[in-house]
Structure 1
Amino acid sequence: YGAVGIHPDDADKMTQETLDEIRRLSHMDKMVAIGEIGLDYYWHKEEEEHQIQQKMFRAQLDIAREEKLPFMIHSREAAEDTLNIVREYMQGGMYGGIIHCFSYSREIAAEYLKMGLYLGIGGVVTFKNAKKLKETVQYAPLSQLVLETDCPYMSPEPNRGKRNSSLNLPYVAQAIAELKEITAEEVIDVTRQNAEKLLGIHQ
């Protein structure tokens, strides 16, 4: 299964032809989402860059709405702007989504959860210093979490610093299980169902 979209790092290279191609690819068999799209202000500090990213973020959310597909959101050092844009679009006619590699506060998580969105949890949850994310995982209902890798980055302990892959997902599931005081099997079962439901995957 696939998702199609342009990462905010490349927003300045996007044209109408790019958007047309995203739309075309979204019709392919087993294409289940628009993403990874969003905002990334970590490397892009200028207001002009932010405006370009926001414009292309909105354009891709428009495609998600029109094609009746969920979205996958990347947000780095852009918490307020991302939340405001997503909130605006979720007022009507969207088909759900995942906040990929969620890294903000429990308070921001609460806003996304209220909108019925899912939080993507990856290897960072296994890090000793990931206090904020651990608090968010404890707070969020399991019914609104999905597992992810962010391959090749953010490998969980004990493989931190090495290339990540889906082979590491059991470590993420175990960390979530410990935080929620349930079994890893339950985490795996529920998060799989969450992903299948959101993405329309029927095994």
Structure 2
Amino acid sequence: MTAQPKTVWVLDDHFLIAEAIGKILTDEVDYQYQAGFTQSAPLLEALRLQGAPDYLLLDINLNGEDGIALCKQLKKNWPALHIIMLTGLSQPAIIKNSLKNGASGFLLKNMQHAELIECLKQVGDGETYLHAPIEKVLLESSIPGKSGRSDFLPKLSRREKEVLDLIVKEYTTQEIADALFLSVNTVETHRASLLTKLGARNIAGLVRITLEKGLLDK
């Protein structure tokens, strides 16, 4: 009896990426591209209605949404789902945050056909897959004096800096919402994104990192 192919979904704010993945997998017998999404809401709805696929290729920058935070949420609700980050970002802090929040693999968007298939195979076997350029970045960041990118911190948007500034000034969530004319939910979303991007576990850690790195001075 022939085994059913493993299913693959893609979430990327550029649908051309999903189409490209679909073309790569067209002739594969072990893997089947099943669906592509450009926003998280339709993806979450499909997960609730259809259940999870075997793999999700997930972009990190989702036109205002935080892919790493979404990865954490998805793994909490669908723990068997294999999530592979598919991105153009290769900074050590982002890679480590992705893996810490549930990603099983990390691929750059310039990957080759064979690299995608090898990634799916290794992740399906329970291993963590890192694209070769990603392994090199992590290795260099761990060697003193080899690369300054180990101190890399993701670029913050203007709005994130505004929220961060008020957090440091000990404003409450409601006070931040009032000051910036935002909803409480939007403020909480920005705060969660800041925690994820900066690798902080709580608000105290967020403030400490902000002051140590001088994030609001830049």
TM-score over 0.5 (shorter chain): no
Larger Cα Rg: Structure 1 or Structure 2? Answer: 2
TM-score, normalised relative to structure 2: 0.35
TM-score by length of 1: 0.37
